[in-house]
Amino acid sequence: MLEKGSETKLTGMKGSRKVYVKSFGCQMNVYDSQRMADTLAPEGYVETATAEAADLVILNTCHIREKAAEKVYSELGRVRRLKEAAAGEGRNVLIAVAGCVAQAEGEEIIRRAPAVDLVVGSQNYHRLPALLAHAERHGKVVDTQFPVEDKFEALAPPSLSATRARGVTAFVTVQEGCDKFCTFCVVPYTRGAEVSRPVEKIVAEIERLADAGVREITLIGQNVNAYHGEGADGRNWPLARLLARAAKVPGIERLRYTTSHPLDMTDDLIATHRDLPRLMPQLHLPVQSGSDRILAAMNRRHTRADYMDAIARLKAARPDLALTSDFIVGFPGETEDDFAATLSLLGEVGYSGAFSFKYSPRPGTPGADMADQVAEEVKSERLQRLQKAIDRQQAAFNHRCLGRTLPVLFERKGRYSGQLVGRSPYLQPVQVEAPDAMLGRIAAVTITEIASNSLFGALAQTPAREPTFAAAGA
């Protein structure tokens, strides 16, 4: 274990090494992976797109999905073979495991996968250069303690060129950790207590991103609408006020935030959906179950009625709001009646899409020790029914966009020459024939065709304006 504050430097390798970061899981991990690469850039590490070419392979892991740890071990088997092949050529490849599986498994990772050189928890990756140097000189390192120093303060900012290469949309972490302790979730254990970044630091990061050409920012956090970071006035600002401040950064044309908890959908945040045109009309608001009995067992701290009340207030503020959610089926004790309640909630809300998963116990969480675990085949059958219902809702939502003219932010080139891919305000991918010069711009697009996972459209003559609630109908 490296001592806290140990300041070993990576030396003698400037400009000579390549790092490959593989990101598993949510947007928080995508953001963390980019920041890991940023932190290693001043040490001479250049990002590469393939593990084969890398001198350092980092697996930035996620513990939310089923069998997450097993998937990491299987990926480590592949990386170990690359390391062995490189050693045969006289090249030393370092392997690091970061993120939530690293946090949860710690030294067990090195015991089961001895080729791993470094295990670094989700709160410690700002110390990567020192940890890697230590691993090279003294052998394997495990660092999963929650640090006393501020990770974000210690991170190197991304270079302008790295930011440009990442495109016109970006995530910015504003809050980390969670104090809610849902009984199925590992986040409070792997990411720790809820911490909000100060407003000034967030705004400075958004300004840097805007200078590099970013047009859309998604503020992210495990419980982002519980945000309460310190503002320049010394007060704790809620997310609504942070969004209003972010909207003033020149060059930023679109804002989103994720992931939210229903209990933290405050009146001021809901009003922001009505009053801030740059806040896109799309919200991910996980409910997990439609049954009060299961919500209580999950320790969600809200009822079905609380959730529906939040939805009603949101829809009153912004009638065209597209809603998405997460659902867990087969939580311990879930009966057919409980599951029917989930299906009925889905029907009542009408989502533009949703993620749904079979419950799988996470070691160390209360749900894992609950009696009456639901049989695997029952979970699978319920999941199938739920996914079919979600697919129908998503298709219906997309079909309601057919013929509409929507502002689309062009993010990247499409698969075919002359084609660009962008996003509608409702976060749908839209494929359009358009010149490359339109990358990074918002243009009006008439939706002409619907495929299962994306829309097709044609550039329209009308000017591109983000829809207001008067344009409801999605």
> Binding residues for ligand SF4, per CB under 6 A?
178, 180-182, 185, 187-188, 222-223, 261
Q: Which is nearer to ligand SF4, 180 or 358 (CB)?
A: 180
CB of 127 to ligand SF4, least distance (A): 24
The CA distance from 49 to 38, in Å, is 15
Q: Which is nearer to ligand SF4, 180 or 413 (CB)?
A: 180
Which residue's entry shows tokens 């209003």? Answer: 244
Looking at 113-182, list the stretches that DSSP marks H as alpha helix, in order from N- to C-terminal side: 128-138, 151-154, 160-165
Q: Which is nearer to ligand SF4, 223 or 428 (CB)?
A: 223
CB of 408 to ligand SF4, least distance (A): 31
Q: Which is nearer to ligand SF4, 286 or 422 (CB)?
A: 286
Q: Which is nearer to ligand SF4, 182 or 220 (CB)?
A: 182
CB of 371 to ligand SF4, least distance (A): 21
CB of 10 to ligand SF4, least distance (A): 34
- The Cα diameter of the chain in Å comes to 66
Sheet-wide strand order for 141-143: 45-47, 17-23, 56-61, 94-98, 118-120, 141-143
Per DSSP, the chain holds a count of helices (H) and strands (E) of 15, 21
CB of 33 to ligand SF4, least distance (A): 19
Looking at 62-127, list the stretches that DSSP marks H as alpha helix, in order from N- to C-terminal side: 68-88, 99-105, 107-112
| Cβ–Cβ under 8 Å, residues 277 and 468 | yes
CB of 181 to ligand SF4, least distance (A): 6
How many residues in total does the chain contain?
A: 474
Q: Which is nearer to ligand SF4, 72 or 187 (CB)?
A: 187
| Residues facing residue 442 across a β-bridge | 409
CA distances, 176 to each of 159, 211, 259, 300 (Å): 23, 25, 11, 18
